[in-house]
Amino acid sequence: MSENQTFALEVRDIVKRFPGVLANDHVNFNLRKGEVHALLGENGAGKTTLMNIIYGLYHPDEGEIFVNGRKVTIDSPHDAIRLGIGMVHQHFMLVPVFTVAENLILGAEPTKGLSLDLKAARQAVVDLSQRYGLEVEPDAIIEDLPVGVQQRVEILKALYREAKVLVLDEPTAVLTPQEVEELFVIMRQLTERGVSIIFITHKLKEVLAIADRITVMRRGRVVGTVRPQEVDEAKLAAMMVGREVVLQVEKSPAEPGEPVLQVRDLVVEDERHLIAVDHVNLEVRRGEVVGVAGVQGNGQTELAEALTGLRPIREGQMLLGGKPVPPRNPRYLIEHGMAHIPEDRQKHGLVLSYTIADNLVLCTYYKPPFARGLQRNQAAIVENAEKLVQQFDVRTPSIFTTAGSLSGGNQQKVIVAREFSRPVDLLIANQPTRGLDVGSIEYIHKRIVQMRDQGAGVLLISAELDEIMSLADRIAVMFRGKIVATVKAEEVNREQLGLLMAGSPASEVLGQPQPAA
């Protein structure tokens, strides 16, 4: 391709500053017509900032934007939409109580006189559905739809506004492997019809599978633009992080001991009093990692909350170390050897306004040496904090920095440091590396395997299939609140897990009926 060809989109020397951070540092980026161009980088690398500038949600401090060779200013999403730029955000911008048709037309409503022309809206949905092969029901209510379908609605929204440049921000975070494949097929169909796609992600495998070109960003700068044929995962990871990264954690075979966690016929309800955990049986033995695989929203959150004493158990039994646990008593669990890395580190793992030192004693503040009777022992708390921050490599100017000002990776390290600094018999880790950079992921994976090797049992709940496959000795797949299969890690491959996560019956996928864990 010649260099003189007009790019569908080009940005030159974009600079964007936020208080305390240079989010985009003289970024140059171009998008060819009809290509899938992946934008790869850690969290905080500046990818979403750049895309928000292109979509008019942010204003650049310096730099220029060109659409089809013409210089443009984009002051708001309105301008971006008019220029043919559409964006599918990582967290969907759909009104949950509206229908598909209503969400589609919002802001660009067809009218009959003064009224909304919902008939035209429905027709538009049907027409677009057929033209692009994205099946959706116009009158379905968004909050009733599965996430994969909601995503299709988001794509249709952009197509309805005749987007020629489509930005997909971490679209695969909420999809099963099969749905990711379907998305890739849709992306190819779109490029064949002249749509150019920018695909933001931090997942190396996907980028190599689908992209025509890959631009890697790190700390606000473009590190380089390559073609998938020229690189492999290790090289991309090194570009993202700036050093060599170990992608596959080293693990010796498991030597499981007696059971430390036994879950029998567990039934747990969610906020709306619907059954979220449906007669689940699980067992975790000392010295093994049991991974619970599944797409988010199939009951994993409720399961983790029930096992850590945060949600009532409606039916069934939970045994820790062979003894039944008193209901809703996290302190009992903590004092009997349970460690918990929660799913939402900012809501449930830390008190963001407290210092790191105080966060590190959140579970043990009432016991000696940190307290004597009614009095806290500040010296012991400080000593403990200094030791742990050093041991667990928490990057912070001081132990008195508030937890809220730490990066995601370091916040997670504080939680890990706190939980691992007690004697642990059972570790429940729920999405432990969500939103973390490759370096932090590497660290946490190492620590989890270390905990296992020291004789604790680990229950790892994760929506990242790679993480499960890399760490787990046994894998239980959760779908719609049930454990649909429990297998040994060596006996199953990625594709089979993907099918199970999407609901295919275990007997078909694995060729045998599944007993309880």
Could you tell me the smallest distance in angstroms from the CB atom of residue 78 to another protein?
3
Q: Which of residues 147-166 bind another protein (CB under 8 A)?
A: 157
Identify which of residues 97 and 374 has a Cβ nearer to another protein in the complex: 97
CA distances from 230 to 205, 214, 227 (A): 14, 10, 6
Q: Is 68 left (phi over 0), alpha (psi -120 to 50) or beta?
A: left
Our finding on whether 370 is near another protein (CB under 8 A) is no
Identify which of residues 404 and 505 has a Cβ nearer to another protein in the complex: 404
- Among 6, 21, 59, 346, the residue binding another protein under the rule CB under 8 A is 59
Question: Which one of the spans 90-98, 163-171, 176-184, 203-211 is the region binding another protein (CB under 8 A)?
Answer: 90-98
Question: Which one of the spans 92-100, 163-171, 224-232, 425-433 is the region binding another protein (CB under 8 A)?
Answer: 92-100
Question: H or E stretch including 381?
Answer: helix 378-391
For residue 292, what are the β-bridge partners? 461, 476
For residue 40, what are the β-bridge partners? 201, 216
- Among 22, 106, 147, 362, the residue binding another protein under the rule CB under 8 A is 106
Our finding on whether 102 is near another protein (CB under 8 A) is yes
CA distance 135 to 149: 8
Question: Which one of the spans 54-62, 390-398, 402-410, 477-485 is the region binding another protein (CB under 8 A)?
Answer: 54-62
Backbone angles phi, psi at 349, to 5 degrees: -105, -25
Our finding on whether 295 is near another protein (CB under 8 A) is no
Cis omega (within 30 of 0) for bond into 327: no
Our finding on whether 89 is near another protein (CB under 8 A) is yes
Could you tell me the smallest distance in angstroms from the CB atom of residue 377 to another protein?
39
265 is written with which tokens?
A: 């016929």
Q: Name the residue with tokens 């379907």.
A: 182
User: Count of residues binding another protein (CB under 8 A)?
Assistant: 33
What are the start-end ranges of the H helices in 193-293? 204-210, 233-241
- Among 109, 182, 212, 269, the residue binding another protein under the rule CB under 8 A is 109
Q: Name the residue with tokens 């998008």.
A: 31
Backbone angles phi, psi at 42, to 5 degrees: -65, 170
Contact between 85 and 72 (Cβ < 8 Å): no
Our finding on whether 107 is near another protein (CB under 8 A) is yes
- Among 77, 337, 439, 503, the residue binding another protein under the rule CB under 8 A is 77
Our finding on whether 81 is near another protein (CB under 8 A) is yes
Question: H or E stretch including 119?
Answer: helix 118-132
- Among 9, 29, 52, 416, the residue binding another protein under the rule CB under 8 A is 52
- Residue type at position 219: R
Our finding on whether 93 is near another protein (CB under 8 A) is yes
Residues near another protein (CB under 8 A): 16, 18, 49, 52, 55, 57-59, 76-78, 81, 87, 89, 92-98, 102-103, 105-109, 111, 114-116, 157
